[in-house]
Amino acid sequence: MMYDCIIIGSGPAGISAALTLQANKKEFLLFGSEELSQKIVKAETIHNYPGLTDVSGKEFCAALKAQLSAAKITVKTEKVAGVYALKEKFSVMTQAGEAYEAKTVILACGVESVKQIEGEETYLGRGVSYCATCDGFLYKNKTIAVICTTKALEHEIGYLADLAKKVYLIPMYKEVEIDRENVTLIRKMPVKIDGEMRVKNLTFADSPTEEIPSVLPIDGVFMLRDCVSPAVLVGGLEMQEGHVVVSRDMSTNLKGCFAAGDCTGRPYQYAKAAGEGNVAAHSVCAFLK
């Protein structure tokens, strides 16, 4: 099926875009997560969203879920691995290997608060990967490092541990549940990825210990993050200082591709994200006409 639009991200920007597209009777898919957005759930108290006084992030999330349900909008909880601009359409690939097509795309994937590691961009596709299910098979019987920022992605570590000979897991969260013979936990700060044609080493800021040297020899690194840079998702997307470059109508440099919310720049706020999602959806409707 050819959708009118595919929205990537179920935070305030993506939800606002979805509600507007629904009101305009467009056929669309909304990709995101079960909890909608970690950045909503984790907020202690929200004071600055019009119409809401002192609600918790969890209450805000519940209200958004109820609104989506009343509008009969479902969130597809598959992670998008790549968006490909083809002639007058987009192909959206998920990490599960499914492909969907749409005439337009709205990027509402938020921003990753974790800083990129030196060498990450240089070695992307040459030993650095963001998707376990897409690239895991390349590391069968090899030694890999996995830098994981969220417990929600722990199942992907299990998948990699099934394939690789050795996994060095560097979690950026507290309670690690994975317990596998070939997985070694490292509580150190990775600072650099380097190599030659392909990745060879991961360097830590901390001093070496008996088991873990400062420079760890590896065949690849998986960066498992809740959200990756939109530039990694969409080839050829114009970015500036880590944000998608957009016009007033939220269009990007790629025809039919729009962006909204934190991924387009500061201020990082719910109201700004929701407003931009709304504008992006109206622009999609105008574009489709």
Ligand X SMILES: Cc1cc2nc3c(=O)[nH]c(=O)nc-3n(C[C@H](O)[C@H](O)[C@H](O)COP(=O)(O)OP(=O)(O)OC[C@H]3O[C@@H](n4cnc5c(N)ncnc54)[C@H](O)[C@@H]3O)c2cc1C
Q: Give contact residues for ligand X (rule: CB under 6 A).
A: 8-14, 31-33, 36-37, 39-40, 42-43, 46, 48, 79-80, 108-110, 226-227, 233, 261-262, 268-271, 273
Smallest gap from residue 55 Cβ to ligand X (A) = 9
**Closest to ligand X by CB, 219 or 262:** 262
Using CA atoms, how far apart are residues 64 and 241, in angstroms rounded to an integer? 31
Q: Cβ of 236: how many Cβ atoms within 10 Å?
A: 11
- Least CB distance to ligand X at residue 181 (A): 31
Whichever of 34 and 210 has its CB closer to ligand X, that residue is: 34
Residues 198/174, Cβ–Cβ less than 8 Å: no
Nearer to ligand X, 21 or 40 (CB): 40
| Torsion 269-274-279-280 (CA) sign | positive
Return d(Cα 241, Cα 100) in angstroms, integer.
30
Whole-number minimum distance, CB 99 to ligand X, in Å? 14
Residues with Cβ within 8 Å of residue 91, at least 6 apart in sequence? 83, 84, 99, 100, 101
In terms of CB distance, is 64 or 216 closer to ligand X?
A: 64
CB nearer ligand X, residue 31 or residue 222: 31
Give the residue with the Cβ less far from ligand X, 36 or 218.
36
Give the nearer residue to ligand X in terms of CB position, either 117 or 227: 227
Helix, coil or strand: residue 102: strand
How many angstroms separate the CA atoms of 52 and 165, rounded? 51
Residue pair 78/6 in contact (Cβ under 8 Å)? The answer is no
Nearest distance from residue 113's CB to ligand X, in Å? 7
| Min CB(108)–ligand X separation in Å | 5
11 vs 136, which CB is nearer to ligand X? 11
Q: Residue 79 CB, nearest distance to ligand X (Å)?
A: 4
Strand partners for 218: none
The least distance separating ligand X from the CB of residue 123, rounded to whole angstroms, comes to 20
99: DSSP letter: E
Q: At 84, which amino acid appears?
A: Y
Alpha helices, DSSP H only, in the chain? 12-23, 38-41, 57-70, 132-135, 154-163, 230-233, 270-288
Contact 246, 252 (CB under 8 A): yes
Least Cβ distance, residue 252 to ligand X (angstroms): 15
How far apart (Å, rounded) are the C-alpha atoms in residues 26 and 168?
45
